[in-house]
């Protein structure tokens, strides 16, 4: 019994300490599949490297833990009228990077890449 409680406590502590930071969200898409397709395209177009360029000055590096999420969460807080967003998240609080800078450049980069994708 004590071992079970200890294991449960460890899981809860790890879960709390590794909570992702939501940095930005996109406009809402009609379906989760559309959000997934757009999110994959944006990642393949170099989202992480572009954010890294603005944050660190080096686009050859990636920001560990920076990614896009388009499923597995409740979309209502981001799309109250309905729809599915793309969420930018950072799951690396110990990166040593300025989180405010990562957040700011993630928002700008996502907006620019969404516009860029529409042109194609």
Question: Is residue 77 included in any domain, yes or no?
Answer: yes
* pLDDT attached to residue 120: 65
Question: Is residue 3 included in any domain, yes or no?
Answer: no
- Rounded Cα distance, 115 and 120, in Å: 9
Task: Provide the residue range defining the domain that includes 98.
Answer: 21-119
Question: Is residue 2 included in any domain, yes or no?
Answer: no
Question: Is residue 68 included in any domain, yes or no?
Answer: yes
- Show pLDDT as tens, one digit a residue, over the chain (120 residues): 443 333 333 333 333 444 458 888 888 999 999 999 999 999 999 999 999 999 999 999 889 889 999 989 999 999 999 999 999 998 876 677 888 899 999 999 999 999 998 876
Q: Which residues are 90's β-sheet partners? A: 21, 66
Question: Is residue 8 included in any domain, yes or no?
Answer: no
Question: Is residue 74 included in any domain, yes or no?
Answer: yes
The closest of 73, 61, 63 to 22, measured between CA atoms, is 73
Question: Is residue 52 included in any domain, yes or no?
Answer: yes
Strands 21-25 and 66-69: unpaired
Total domains in the fold of the chain: 1
Question: Is residue 78 included in any domain, yes or no?
Answer: yes
- Rounded Cα distance, 5 and 10, in Å: 9
């Amino acid at each position: 019994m004590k071992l079970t409680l200890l294991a449960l406590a460890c899981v809860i502590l790890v879960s709390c300490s590794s909570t992702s930071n939501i940095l930005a969200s996109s406009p809402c898409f009609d379906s989760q599949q559309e959000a997934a397709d757009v999110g994959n395209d944006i990642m393949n177009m170099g989202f992480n490297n572009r954010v890294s360029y603005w944050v660190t000055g080096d686009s050859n590096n990636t920001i560990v833990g920076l990614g896009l999420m388009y499923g597995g969460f409740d979309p209502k807080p981001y799309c109250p009228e309905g729809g599915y967003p793309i969420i930018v998240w950072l799951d690396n609080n110990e990166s040593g990077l300025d989180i405010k800078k990562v957040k700011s450049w993630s928002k700008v980069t996502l907006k620019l890449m969404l516009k860029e994708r529409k042109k194609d």
